[in-house]
Amino acid sequence: MNQLYVLTDKKAEVVTEHTYEAELELQTIVTENPHLLLAPSSAKQLFLIEPEFTLPEDEGSSNSFSLDHLMVDSDGVPALVEVKRSKDTRIRREVVAQMMDYAARMRCVDVDSLRTLFQDENQEEGLEEYYTDEFWEKVSANLKADRMALYFVADEIPSTLVTMMDFMRRTMSGIAVYGVEIKEYQSDGTVLLSSSVIGGYEPEPIQVGQEWDATSFGAQMRCLHDDGLIDVAKNLQTNCAGLGYTILFGRGMKRPSFRGVVGKTTVFQVAISAYEAQPKCSIEICLPLMQRALGHESDEKLRTLFNDFPDKEKAIEDENIRNTPQYLYYTLSYFKNSQRLKELLEKLAAVEAELAN
């Protein structure tokens, strides 16, 4: 076994391995550093959805289990993470049964709730593509196909667990299985971590949806039998492109969409909904994305700007404007009124000018 040293002022000091006194120590490291679970050669990213994630025993059941960490990777594959210390005898056999219990129940999870948890947890810049309908339709498709990744994390993975992981990889199609050893070393106040990934493979990413464009999106809108909505959508595309927006079409199967982007920031999205509980076509504005890009301390200024219509109280009462903690929604039909559409374009122009500076 190699001895580790830390070099300080040309003097090599011995680094000693630290024993985790409690499982919570290792769990906290994983919570704050999901990338430690990935092999150095992996091109993926891994994002935390929620630590201590509650899983229902069955659909509609009041009984539940607690998974150490639920994550998702950049391909939309859910990742289930269980953390154990090597001193815990459950890491040899029981943890496998525990993980399979959790994996079998992932189909009962509501994807919309996962999306909300993800957005609450991951608010850094540059993550806009993981906020989109297309990404969460991938997550949904992976769950329905029982495609997921299972991570067993410990300071040391015992050989008995390695044997069982190898068997799981050989026999379970579409499920990646990893063991990850995270060791901590200390020397005179300096803390070092090492991460070693054991096993696993990379299943082919699942494909969902289709590539929409102006023609196919317009054809889908005609199914709504409302020419006024088609005109609003076309006006938004044309006028926003003239204001400096890049118009990007989505790949959603259930929700054909296009979005207006300034630089790397998605300002708005127009989507045709397949869900009866939602308006058939809506404009969605993700406030936290703009807030961070503009450097605002809160989204209050943006929320006030986009709510500022002369008839906003009635519009909110009629549910033509709907506010949530993350989003502001308008029904597209609200902007069949040319004056309202003009005011919306003025607001979008103001945001574009601020983002472009």
d(CA 80, CA 68): 8
Looking at the fold, whether 158 and 289 belong to one and the same domain comes out as no
Position 205 in a domain:
no
* Residue 286: closest CA among 128, 136, 156, 162: 128
- Beta-bridged to residue 261, according to DSSP, are 246, 266
d(CA 217, CA 220): 5
Query: Helix 338-356 crosses helix 300-307 at what angle (to 10 degrees)?
Result: 150
**pLDDT score of 250:** 84
209-234: b (≥16 Cβ within 10 Å) or e = beebeeeebeeebeeeebeebbebbe
**pLDDT score of 276:** 43
Looking at the fold, whether 234 and 282 belong to one and the same domain comes out as yes
**pLDDT score of 149:** 93
What number of H helices and E strands is found in the chain?
Answer: 11, 15
Tokens of 84: 């154990």
End residue of a domain, out of 198, 225, 258: 198
The full DSSP string for 205-231 is PP--S----HHHHHHHHHTT--HHHHH
Position 204 in a domain:
no
**pLDDT score of 331:** 92
Position 209 in a domain:
no
Position 302 in a domain:
yes
Are the C-beta atoms of residues 158 and 92 closer than 8 Å to each other?
Answer: yes
d(CA 356, CA 353): 5
Looking at the fold, whether 327 and 218 belong to one and the same domain comes out as yes
pLDDT in tens, 162-217: 888 888 888 887 889 999 999 999 887 788 899 999 876 555 566 566 678 888 88
Instruction: Check residue 325 and report its DSSP letter.
Output: S
Residue 281: domain span: 214-356
* Residue 315: closest CA among 330, 336, 294: 330
Tokens of 158: 């015992």
**pLDDT score of 255:** 75
Are the C-beta atoms of residues 231 and 237 closer than 8 Å to each other?
Answer: no
pLDDT in tens, 198-213: 876 555 566 566 678 8
**pLDDT score of 206:** 60
**pLDDT score of 281:** 87
Determine which helix (DSSP H) or strand (DSSP E) holds 64, and give its type and residue range.
strand 64-73
pTM over 0.75: no
Per-residue pLDDT of the chain (357 residues; tens, 9 = 90+): 567 888 888 888 888 888 888 899 999 999 999 999 998 888 889 999 999 999 877 665 667 789 999 999 999 999 999 999 988 887 777 899 999 999 988 988 888 889 989 988 998 878 888 988 888 988 988 898 889 999 999 999 988 898 888 888 888 878 899 999 999 998 877 888 999 998 765 555 665 666 788 888 888 888 777 888 899 999 999 999 999 999 999 877 667 889 999 988 889 989 887 544 445 788 989 888 888 888 888 888 999 999 999 998 999 998 899 888 778 999 999 999 999 999 999 999 999 999 888
The full DSSP string for 83-99 is E--TT-GGGTTHHHHHH
Longest dimension (CA), the chain: 77
Position 31 in a domain:
yes
**pLDDT score of 86:** 85
The CA-atom distances, in angstroms, between 203 and each of 74, 170, 325 are 13, 13, 35
What's the number of domains the chain is made of? 2
